[in-house]
Amino acid sequence: MGLNSKDLLSIHDLSVGEVATILDVARKLKRKQKNGEPHEYCKGKTLAMIFSKASTRTRVSFETGFHQLGGHPIYLSDSASQVGRGEPVRDTARVLSRFVDGIMIRTFSHDEVKELAQYATIPVINGLTDLLHPCQALTDIFTIMEHQKVLKGRKLVYVGDGNNMAHSLMFACAKVGMHMVCASPKGYQPDPEILRLAQEDGAMTGAKITVEENLLEAAKGADVLYTDVWASMGQEEEFAERKKVLGSYQINKELLAVARPEAIVLHCLPAHRGEEITEDVMEGPQSVIFDQAENRLHVQKAIMALLMSEENL
């Protein structure tokens, strides 16, 4: 069992069945890891990890995960490789394809990742771009499944900036039949083209994907409340303006009271407590944020194994 896709660039590119396969393999690999069972599906393989953006969770989860799969990860930063020194992406893609078995890239431009995949003859995994964050969104769906069992018909409400995280969550919810409302102010709402594509995906599974300005209205009956920082990496100079506009888009006790009693709270981290989420909610009984953080390891292992292993998973 593998994926029909060579790469994982966007959840939109995956079929409903492929998303289900990733979630199923992640569950199996998590169980194996917890039981101390070997699962070296990538033994003898090498993964090049290209980082143009700083990272804690992405680097540690991919590096640890590939090591647990029996493979050898190589960290490449802009400062320590030709990638950041003007070598064309298509050249990097073709050279690395001769050396390694897969590439994970975390960078700014989504077009750069698409070009890398176009010229590489090996799998390319999008570890994050300014447009999309597919590995995180698949992790989020996996975490919801662990805590709420059934995904279809659940309602996820995303609070704040309609950024790469919001985009990937729209695609992920659409593929598994979850309804999603992106609660964002004007000027900070998701890309209309991404919204259109997600709604098309949702039409196949019965998922409704919408955008709403009124936060309290959006959060009514939510099974999942999700937020991200007001200013992402590279947007620090805009923070004062963003705080002014996004200041009321916060997960707090008042918002939690509007959601379903058993609702869970997610955040992709790093969190700025007191800004997009309050301390009491982040540390409260409905927060599963650190389960979610751990699950990056298991879901990314599933993705790497499905793309890079010849074994039957």
Exactly one of 12, 59, 68, 136 is catalytic; which is it? 136
Backbone angles phi, psi at 106, to 5 degrees: -125, 110
* Catalytic status, residue 272: no
Residue of 140, 161, 201, 228 with catalytic role: 228
Task: Convert the pLDDT of each residue in 185-222 to its tens digit.
Answer: 999 999 999 999 999 999 999 999 999 999 999 999 99
pLDDT tens track for 31-77: 999 999 999 999 999 999 999 988 889 999 999 999 999 999 999 98
From the candidates 12, 39, 59, 106, which is the catalytic residue?
106
Out of 133, 167, 267, 298, pick the active-site residue.
133
pLDDT band with cut points at 50, 70 and 90 for residue 82? low
Q: What is the pLDDT of residue 117?
A: 98
Q: What is the pLDDT of residues 224-269, one digit of tens each?
A: 999 999 987 667 778 889 999 999 999 999 999 999 999 999 999 9
Between 83 and 271, the more confident residue is: 271
Domain 137-293 belongs to what topology?
Rossmann fold (3.40.50)
CATH of segment(s) 11-133+295-308: 3.40.50.1370
- All CATH 3.40.50.1370 domain ranges in the chain, comma separated: 11-133+295-308, 137-293
Q: How far apart are CA 257 and CA 254, in angstroms?
A: 5
CA pair distance 207, 220, nearest whole angstrom: 17
For residue 189, indicate whether it is catalytic.
Answer: no
User: Who's near 304: CB < 8 A, 6+ residues apart?
Assistant: 42, 47, 62, 65, 66, 69, 71, 102, 104, 125
Instruction: Report residue 115 as tokens.
Output: 């070009």
233: helix, coil or strand? Answer: coil
Is the pLDDT reported for residue 126 higher than 60?
yes
Evaluate whether 108 touches 52 at the Cβ level (below 8 Å). yes
Catalytic residue list contains 196: no
CA dihedral 239, 244, 248, 251 (to 10 degrees): 10
Given the residues 267, 268, 292, 298, the one annotated as active site: 268
3-state secondary structure of 219: helix
**What's the pLDDT at 80?**
65
List of long-range contacts for 14-17, beta carbons under 8 Å, 24+ apart: 14/175, 16/175, 16/176, 16/204, 16/205
Q: Annotated catalytic, 161?
A: no
The yes-or-no answer on residue 85 being catalytic is: no
